[in-house]
Every structure is written in C-alpha cells, then in structure tokens.
Structure 1
Amino acid sequence: MLKLFLILALFFQDAAVSITSPQSGQTLRGQIEIQGRMDVQDFASAELAFTFDASASDPAASWFPIQTYSQPAADSAIAIWDTTAVTDGDYALRLRVFLQ
C-alpha cells in the first residue's frame, strides 16, 4: 500500500494551483486519478511529479515526472498515476507551475 503526502511547490501561493484529489495521508492502490487545478495567468507549463522521500525536506530529493502540461487545467482530472509501478511506501506529490 502507498501512503501519500502532498506538496505544492509553487513560486507563489495561489488557490488557482492545487491538487484536490487524492488527499494527503490517503492510502492508494492501482490506477489513481489525480484531480487538480493550475489555472493561472501567464501559465507557461506545469509538471506533476512524485518522490520516494515522503518528507520531501531534502532539496536534493529525486522527483520523477508523472505528467507535464503545456495548457492550464481547472478543476479536472490532470493525470492517472499507475501506483502498481512503484513499491509500497510513503510518497509525496508535487505540482509545479511555471510562468511566462
């Protein structure tokens, strides 16, 4: 079983950028629909990634892309994460948005 911790790595704090599902601390299994939003002015691109370091306090932690985006999304399914491809443990998700 996977235990999930969410991290929103933003260059600004804005409610327009968020992962709304799954919730932090939730146990996951199988194909997981990730829902969120990244609907900001001057959107250039975004990246959804995960790390094995659930604390994600180490700045050198390795992040593995789940999906990249060239268009913003608002309140929708932004990715399907196949958790069967990773071992059981604690993970963190990160949604980064880059501006023009």
Structure 2
Amino acid sequence: MNRALPRLLLWLLIGVLALAACGTGESEDDPSPTPPGVAQNTNTPPPAVNTPTPLPTIGLGSRSTPSNVQAPTALPVPTRVAINPTALPATAIAITSPPAGSVLRGTVAVTGSASHPSFSQYALEYGPDPNPSNLWYPITAVPITNVVVNNVLGAWNTTTVADGNYQLRLHVWLRTGAEEFRVVPNLQVRNTQQAPRPPNNNPIIAPIQRCRPGALAIP
C-alpha cells in the first residue's frame, strides 16, 4: 500500500503537467471561444464618410456679377405731345345762294352752310310756292354726312320740274333727334323759251290839211 501511493502521486503530477501544457498551447494558437450572446469585437474600421464640400460664403451686401453680361441700356424718355381737343363746329345753317326772287334755269348750284355741334346729316329739298300742304321733294338722293361751311351744298337740276314758283329748303338732322330747316321762297323756274312777239308798229297817218278853194294842196 505504501508503494502504490508514490506512484499514484507521480501519475497525478504527470497528468497535471500535461493538462497545463495543453491549456497553454490552445491559448497561443486558437482564440478562446466566444461565449454565446456576446458580440465579438472584430476591430473592423468604420466606413469612410464623405465630407461635404463647404459652399462659398456670400456676404449679405455683396453679389456675384456674372461675366459677359451687358448693363441694361436706359430707355429714352417719351416726349409729351400736347393734344388740343377738336373744337365742335359752330352752328351755321343757311342757304346763301340762290336768294329769294331769283329766276332759275338749268342746273343751279346751291351754296350755304350746314354745321352744328350735334350735326348728323343734311339734305336739300324743294316744294311749290305757296306750299299750304307742306310738300317737299328731295334734291339730293342720299343725305350728306359732311359738315359744310360757306361752300356748295348741292346742285338742283331745275329742268326736272315744270316752270313755276318754288321754295328751296335746307333740312338738317341732329344727333339729338331734333331737325333744323331753312327755306328760301319765291324762286322762279323759267326753262321754257317763249317765242318773241313781233313789234307792234302802228301805221303813220298823214295829217289832213284844209285848203282854200282854188289852192293847191301840197302834202
């Protein structure tokens, strides 16, 4: 029994040394096992981060001037032109020719004025004289819309009417709806030529002379 004990202690010592030698080799060659549930630190370097390029700093009071940009050309100042309002025509409604009592033949020019601030149009008309029924017939086929002042108003062809006495009327329409009239009376149309009468020459009768008896009568 006493001999077996030293041998047992020797084998225990050898086993302990062997275990110690095995533990030392594993720690040098293989890493120690990572316990479950614990993240292993692999010492991986973090990914590269792009650093933003700093923008140029622009002051509040400064502005960058683009190149090759022309300065705007100043526009010319418009010239003011004074415009005077158009004056309204004065009131002038009259027939100046032919005057009353005229003898008319052929085509007669009628002169005068047809002007008014509210002028619209005018026309020439004729009628019998006297004219109790107020009958008027047009001379101008279409009313005239132009203002006339001391100029020709129209023409009257008196050969289209029978000889006689007539009245001539200027008829003016206004934009207000009113109407103006000017009448020239006692116009005598004489287009028919009358045959001239022969002169009435009375015969000359020689006077009768009384002679004494036995005297010779000398004419």
Q: Relative contact order: is structure 1 or structure 2 higher (C-alpha 8 Å, sep ≥ 6)?
A: 1
Where do 1:23-38 residues align within 5 Å? 23-38=99-114
Q: Note the aligned Cα RMSD (angstroms).
A: 1.6
Larger Rg: 2
Residues 20-65 of structure 1: CA distance to partner in whole angstroms, max 9, x if unpaired? 000011110011000010111110111210012x123x2x332111
1:69 paired to 2:144: yes
How far apart, CA to CA, are the structure 2 residues paired with 1:21 and 1:80? Answer: 11
Query: 2:164 aligned to 77, 89, 93, which one?
Result: 89
| Whole-angstrom CA distance in 1 between matches of 2:146 and 2:135 | 25
Q: Which moved more, 1:85-94 or 1:67-76?
A: 67-76
For structure 2, which runs of at least 5 residues remain unmatched after alignment?
1-89, 176-219
Higher normalized strand content (fraction of residues): 1
Runs of 5+ in structure 1 lacking a partner?
1-13
Q: Which runs of 4+ in 1 moved over 3 A?
A: none
Counterpart mapping for 1:37-76 below 5 A: 37-52=113-128, 54-56=129-131, 58=132, 60-67=133-140, 68-76=143-151
Q: Could you tell me the TM-score, scaled by structure 2's length?
A: 0.36
* Structure 2 Cα separation of the partners of residues 35 and 22 of structure 1: 8
Q: Give the distance between the partners of 1:86 and 1:28, measured in 2 at CA.
A: 11
